[in-house]
Structure 1
């Protein structure tokens, strides 16, 4: 049985009720983390080094890749330690840092995906005015708004969550410090925290998703008016990768944060939470590289630089 004498920290139970599953998850999480590191680092390098990718779309994509790198690195090492051995503890400070970063970057990603949807809307629906509307200064401002809103959300929600009167056993039925799990751990009144979680879920999940759906509705209407097969293909290529990332990301977020209160939903939410935290950051670069011809061309140019320089 896991030692329960941790007055200044918590026990992250994770999947400790299935020890045979933990070793499998260790390999899955480690593999996903390595893919996240390699894939997102590659996208950032390509966006910086290749002049042909110096456009708003790849500026936002490199922001998303940097966010995913920070997001996974904030908790995956701790998760790997917990999955591999019997030690499941995390200090109060470690839990605070993990929760703060998780909330901040998760919120930032919601806003950033909305900004990217707006960028795609202008590219398809206002192509002649795209360079005028989506200029570099606006790109920097929109990215800054996403990061600042994420930081503000975390500053508002983290302290009240960790000030809750937690039950003496300090066992978090999750693999990381997260708001719903910490609320369930409390033995006191959590009404304020639940209201705060509901309000923030509406503001930072429902509203951004609604704006993304509005953007893609307008894009769909614009595409339906196009008679050219080439234009259809170009519009699909412009939006398909982002739409796939949005679908995967928000499906996982909704399954974690907007689930009903029952034991079955909580167990299912733990697996969705694992996929949201570990799976989506590793899938994002795969989706953008496999479905994006410009990124693949940039990668080939990067690999071919040495050969080209020799020929010259």
Structure 2
């Protein structure tokens, strides 16, 4: 009788655990163990945040002259709650006339509420467009930023190289989006020509489009360099300093420049590590080619074969 009772209690306990796990998956489709628990299970140490989980590089046949627009499609396979700090960057690094910029969508945007404020606020899901100063050392002011709406956030700071940025709340979910920038008006700025580039995010579910804001770049005619990058990152904020790693798959499309697929020489994936002295991350992501697309699969922490820290992505096959 006692054995039967113990067996019954054990079964009820397992049933309760199964129900709890099922509830977690229902309320949080990205749920998995904490980074600390996963790292301990495989015997690795966690590096400081931010974590560049995976980087993708497209190498083009040549630079592209008379640059007017960049578009990259991104597909997220599940909703990502704002309890995570996830940065999906279809433009991880780009250069026009040597001027560097980046952007994408985040699960927790933050910044200053207006150009006069220096108080940091957090607005949940949103989109972001940022650029560095020409040498990353000279401060770049908010006169380089145009807000698309009063709800936009801005920032000009130097904690990751001198940059200026515009961000806007945008509740993105599971689905496909296009992050883009488009050349706009050329104006006179400090006695020389400068051109506004406007960032937008398009939702493929209903073709709606949100204008994020614009940044000013010195120059009038621009050449896009001969490469492009994207990344998936877990970052840190004052609101959530130690975000968990969401289980999620993110697909990046082939970059389109001036409305056309950029002629490609090759593409590759790179997973940073502490040993290489670059922005590091626990190994928890794998990138694979899927036709013209690159799929980033983020899941549990594992021990990566160092020989596979860089690998080719055979796109278009």
TM-score (norm 2): 0.24
More helix by share: 1
